[in-house]
Amino acid sequence: MKLKVLNHPLIDFYMTMLRSKDTQSSKFRFLAKKVTSLMAFEIFKDLKVLPKTIETPLDKHNGVTLNNQKPCIISILRAGLIMSEGITDVFDEVSIGHIGMYRDENTLKPINYVKKLPSDLNNRQCFLCDPMLATGGSAISAIKTLKQHCASDIKLVCLLASDPGIKKVHDNFPDVKIICAQKDDKLNENGFILPGLGDAGDRIFET
Ligand code: PRP
């Protein structure tokens, strides 16, 4: 399964508030972080761990520990920042990278402006975070960047994904699993998801 839509009443409840045009910035930030934190259970379902035996006060327990290479959270700026916060609120044993890009409003093509990534991406589980997967241009550009840095285990994590964006990512990168809280089926003529939630970056940062 290369697509996981969370489908959970708690997530649907928070996403309904997040999508509402009446939700102001501070509440939008709170909700975006909250939904991402709730998604962590699914995001890290296949987290690589090693066996570790410990002693409880009464007996031995065969548990697990993390392997040597921490997973990487890579935020697509700006809006992805809120998702790395939501993830690290519940699991902080991660390295964090940033890829800065924005969508040119006329061409809808992503324009890159910054890149700072952890080392050794080839040995790590990479979780690329962006609240919106609309046309897919930004995600594809970011995945290309990660692959140029030898990342081979990439999951794309979004709050809201569109069917055309999902298809485009999978046409280009069939190996990349997409995990999203919800998905919508269409885009408008400006490349915005319908019904969507508007412009996540502008709503998060009140710009
Ligand atoms: C939004 C969003 C994604 C991109 C999705 O970012 O956060 O990065 O657009 O669109 P796409 O799938 O069609 O590429 P935006 O360009 O508004 O930048 P921002 O995060 O700085 O607001």
Tens digit of pLDDT for each residue in 63-118? 999 988 899 999 999 999 999 999 999 999 999 999 999 888 888 888 999 999 99
Confidence (pLDDT) at 107: 87
User: Tens digit of pLDDT per residue, the chain (207 long)?
Assistant: 899 999 999 999 999 999 999 999 999 999 999 999 999 999 999 999 999 999 999 999 999 999 888 999 999 999 999 999 999 999 999 999 999 998 888 888 889 999 999 999 998 999 999 999 999 999 999 999 999 999 999 999 999 999 999 999 999 999 999 999 999 999 999 999 999 999 999 999 999
Task: List the catalytic residue out of 16, 53, 65, 107.
Answer: 107
How much distance in Å is there from the Cα of 103 to the middle of ligand 1? 6
Q: Is the CB of 205 under 6 A from ligand 1?
A: no
* CATH numbers and ranges of domains, the chain: 3-48+66-205 (3.40.50.2020)
- How high is the pLDDT of residue 1? 80
Q: Is the CB of 164 under 6 A from ligand 1?
A: no
Exactly one of 103, 130, 153, 203 is catalytic; which is it? Answer: 103
Q: Is 137 in the pocket of ligand 1 (CB under 6 A)?
A: yes
Distance CA 47, CA 166 (A): 23
- pLDDT for the residue 103: 80
Q: Is 98 helix (H, G, I), strand (E, B) or coil?
A: strand
pLDDT at 109: 86
In degrees rounded to 5, what are phi and psi of residue 16? -65, -45
Closest CA to 94 of 40, 137, 57, 134: 40
Start-to-end CA distance of the chain, whole Å, equals 37
Distance 128 CA to ligand 1 centre (A): 13
- Residue nearest (by alpha carbon) to ligand 1 atom 13: 135
The whole-model pTM stands at 0.95
Query: Is 46 noted as a catalytic residue in this protein?
Result: no
Residue 106's pLDDT is what? 86
196 Cβ inside 6 Å of ligand 1: no
